Amino acid sequence: MASFTNLLLGFSINFISAWIIVRLIYYRSRPSKNYIFSFLAFNTVVFFVVSYLTNLEISIGVGFGLFAIFSLLRYRTDPMPAREMTYLFVIIALPVMNSVLSSSSLWMQAVIVNALIVVILFALEQGWGFRFESSKRIRYDKIELIKPEYYLLLMNDLQTRTGLPITRVEIKDINFLRDTADIKVYYNGEDWKALQKQSSAHEAGPRKLD
């Protein structure tokens, strides 16, 4: 009975941590249901499989080998991006760790380690301490401004026409027959989000009635 109680407590800690990671961290930045089912299903099944492997005194190496195969899975029709693969690895490794800790009744360590993982993932997802660039490709019609001596004029024109907080510009391709150039512009993602929030707040503000 004690072992079954440990199993339930360990599953509760594991599933709550997985739900926080998936729902409150991953889903907020990736509001898509494509991987939600896979993440939570993997997490649940892996926990119970590893728990029973441990209870039956079967080598934990067999479990790690099995889940290493799972972590290398790719969906044939839609390859999993690197960020989603990282989340999948965390979601698979989490129940392995929790099942071992719960079988040893190390509840305080389990809670602390799960909390640390959640906090670290949240901080990484928020980008605290980092400034990331985003980019867009643009077909540009003012081909006379692509000369190196007109670089500042090019950046000012692109910022005016796109509204993006552009930090740098790369000329990718030039078509003299059509007088166009393929340009890749880089801009600060956080500054762009701030501008979008300001624009949304302005549009949602009180309007004067006629």
Q: Which residue has the tokens 């501008």?
A: 195
Question: Which of 13-27, 165-179, 192-206 is predicted least confidently?
Answer: 192-206
Q: How far apart are CA 33 and CA 70, in angstroms?
A: 20
Q: Indicate the pLDDT class of residue 1, thresholds 50, 70 and 90.
A: low
pLDDT for res 82: 78
Q: How far apart are CA 124 and CA 137, in angstroms?
A: 27
pLDDT at 124 over 80: yes
Regarding predicted confidence, which is higher, 22 or 132?
22
For the stretch 12-25, pLDDT in tens is 999 999 999 999 99
Give the residue-averaged pLDDT of 46-51. 84
Q: Indicate the pLDDT class of residue 118, thresholds 50, 70 and 90.
A: very high
pLDDT for res 35: 85
Contacts of 186 (CB under 8 A, 6+ apart): 133, 134, 135, 166, 167, 168, 169, 170
pLDDT for res 3: 75
Give the residue-averaged pLDDT of 178-202. 71
Q: Indicate the pLDDT class of residue 182, thresholds 50, 70 and 90.
A: very high
**How much of the chain, in percent, has pLDDT values that exceed 90?**
21
pLDDT at 164 over 60: yes
According to DSSP, residue 54 is labeled H
pTM of the model: 0.63
pLDDT for res 18: 94
For the stretch 54-92, pLDDT in tens is 655 555 565 566 556 555 555 444 667 778 888 988 998
